[in-house]
Amino acid sequence: MDLDTQHGGRDPADTATTPAVALWCQHTAGRFPLADGRTRRASGELETEVLAALWTAGRALTAGEVREALDQRLAYNTVQTILVRLHDKNLVERSSAGRAHAYRAMKNPEDLAAARMHEQLAHGLNHEAVLQSFVGSLSKADERALRTMLGRLDP
């Protein structure tokens, strides 16, 4: 599938230096305290960090390169497992890179956020209530932006 079809004409790498990557990571990040004083990553946080490394690089990376871009205390196998899971979820594409595989993000941060919003909406029993709750949680500026975008749609 070509980029024009897959990303609405946008390359996921184009967002690598935008605030969207930082905002996406900040929004989804969170740590939980353990009884011994250490902290544990929130569910999905490591996947988000791996995607952010791919977005920032703007090119396909091997598991070793992703590990270098992240916390090097992570085991190579941990990074490889996350990349395989992201591939299974169709969030990254995989190509041969010698004896290894190289991975590239298939969606930019904005498209991924929209897909996750659609997924949450699909799981809601009352779509109107889910949408109302979402819109009710928006800042005034985001609500204005949403109203402007909706106003541009054909009736």
Q: Compute the average pLDDT of residues 8-29.
A: 49
Give the whole-angstrom CA distance, residue 84 versus residue 68. 17
Q: Is the pLDDT of residue 101 over 60?
A: yes
Percent of residues, the chain, with pLDDT higher than 90: 45
23 confidence band (pLDDT: 50, 70, 90):
low
- Quick: pLDDT tens for 68-99: 999 778 899 999 999 999 999 999 999 999 99
- What's the confidence (pLDDT) of residue 84? 96
- The span from the CA of 28 to the CA of 14, in Å, is 21
Whole-model pTM: value is 0.64
Within 13 Å of residue 118, how many CA atoms lie on the same side as its CB?
6
Lowest mean pLDDT among 24-38, 82-96, 117-131: 24-38
Average per-residue pLDDT in the chain? 80
CA atoms 80, 82, 85, 87: torsion sign: negative
pLDDT of residue 130: 85
The position carrying tokens 């935008």 is: 18
